[in-house]
Amino acid sequence: MAAVKKYAGLPDLDIAAPEIYETPELTEGGSTAPTATLRTDSPSPSDDADGDERLVHQRIDQESARRRFEPFVVDAANVNFGDTVNAEERISYRARTRRRRRAQFGDGSDDDSDEDESLGARIARLKREALEVRLELDRRKGEGVSAETDDDGGGVDEVEKLLSDLNATNSQARTTHDHAEQAFLRTLSKTSQPSKDAARKSTPLPTDRETSVATISQTAAVAEFSDRLTALESALGLTTVDPTAPASAILPTLNSLTEQITTLSSIITPARAASGSAPASLPNLDALQSRIQLLTAEADKLAASRRAALASLDDLQEARLRYNTIRTNRTHSRPTSSHNGPMQDMDRQEGQLHSSLFLQEQASKINALYQLLPTIEGLQPLLPTVLERLRSLSVIHAGAAEARGELDDVIRRQDETREEIKKWRGAVESVERKMAEMSKDMKENVDVVGGLIGGVEERIKALGQESQ
């Protein structure tokens, strides 16, 4: 009734109609059994009489069925087939095939042909079986069945010892790849037991079979990674596969090899280019050659200027000497007297003093120039860059000066515009005041005129009433 009241407002709902639940009647050809079942021949005589083509009269091939389902290994131990919805308590069985085991372990341990099985595959299969037995013993010990598993535990230890001896014997004959794999597996088998005991004490195992399968799959994955790493090391020519050799990282080795290859390729490439018919273009060498030519030309110019300076200095000294000689000769040729003798001596001494001072000054300048020449030669490679920067700086200063002048013009125009705006603002304010006064006067005039018009209208009305 509550549902009827709830949906009473819906259209096309007949509340007064009775609630009727009907089931369809079974027909003669109808059946609830699944129609996709496998049909086999029946020895009844009705098969020959029935000519229905939909019936399958072919018998099952037992050999093909056996070959199809025989590789499956179903583990139904400790399986909970209840209808519980708890994921932790619901445990399903596991089905494995030989193809999956071969793809997982790669040893062909489940093949029927033991003759084709290699020695490494047998050792791997024995290790896996020993690991499964060890896990089974650990599970039984955890359940409390300790009296029956003491002898089995000793047997497993003997098997592991035998496997370790086999690994030690086989490691001498196998290659570097197999040696690294066996060493890794031995280390893993030695260190796996204490870690498993500690993990069992801390947290209980969910399922022994699941743990064994997960451990085996992890071991296979780690072994595959070890194989790939060993192959990479052997391809690189490293000796870290030997456990006794000192360990070295792979990435630094790869970096060093990359640098060596790059260096060799850079060395070999120019030789190949030079040996070919057409030489390769080398812009760096061209730039270096032009730079060397420029430096050589500048050095020649500097040497020429130095020689010219020395020649001019020699000419100057010779000219000074000739001048002094001519002057002294003229002084001696003139008649001496008691009056002009001291004056001539003073002139001669003054000339000699001036010439000596001039020569000393020129010599000091030349010496200073010679002292600065090494510094100038050392700074010669920087001169083009410095000159270019000075030119750029001069251009920047010129542009800054122009920008400063333009900025001053803009500021001056802004001041003029500001003054004009002030004037216009004053004019506008005065006009607004006048407009306000005019509007006020106009309102007063309108009021006065309105009063006058009202008086006139009243008079007109009064006159009209009197005339009537």
Cβ–Cβ < 8 Å for 130, 159: yes
pLDDT bucket at 387, cuts 50 / 70 / 90: confident
The mean pLDDT of 103-112, rounded to a whole number, is 46
Of the listed ranges 99-108, 206-215, 398-407, the least confidently predicted one is 99-108
Percent of the chain with pLDDT strictly greater than 90: 11
Question: Which pLDDT score, from 0 to 100, does residue 134 have?
Answer: 80
Question: Which pLDDT score, from 0 to 100, does residue 305 have?
Answer: 81
User: What is the tens place of the pLDDT at every residue in 245-261?
Assistant: 544 555 666 777 787 78
User: What is the tens place of the pLDDT at every residue in 177-211?
Assistant: 455 555 556 665 665 554 445 445 444 444 555 55
The mean pLDDT of 121-142, rounded to a whole number, is 79
Torsion of CA 447, 453, 459, 464, to 10 degrees: -140
Q: How far apart are CA 107 and CA 125, in angstroms?
A: 7
Cβ–Cβ < 8 Å for 96, 217: no
Choose the most confident range, by mean pLDDT, from 99-108, 128-137, 239-248: 128-137
Q: How far apart are CA 74 and CA 213, in angstroms?
A: 13
pLDDT bucket at 172, cuts 50 / 70 / 90: low
Q: In 10 A of CB 253, how many CB atoms? A: 15
pLDDT at 342 over 90: no
More confident call, 318 vs 351: 318
pLDDT at 317 over 80: no
More confident call, 204 vs 411: 411
Question: Which pLDDT score, from 0 to 100, does residue 139 have?
Answer: 80
The mean pLDDT value of the chain amounts to 69
pLDDT bucket at 422, cuts 50 / 70 / 90: very high
pLDDT bucket at 409, cuts 50 / 70 / 90: very high
Cβ–Cβ < 8 Å for 68, 197: no
User: What is the tens place of the pLDDT at every residue in 14-35?
Assistant: 767 766 666 666 666 555 554 5
Question: Which pLDDT score, from 0 to 100, does residue 36 have?
Answer: 47
More confident call, 269 vs 317: 317
Question: Which pLDDT score, from 0 to 100, does residue 217 have?
Answer: 67
pLDDT at 98 over 90: no
Q: How far apart are CA 188 and CA 168, in angstroms?
A: 15
pTM value is 0.21
pLDDT at 132 over 70: yes
The mean pLDDT of 135-153, rounded to a whole number, is 66
In the 3-class helix/strand/coil scheme, how is 15-75 assigned residue by residue? CCCCCCCCCCCCCCCCCCCCCCCCCCCCCCCHHHHCCCCCCCCCCCCHHHHHHHHCCCEEE
pLDDT at 47 over 60: no
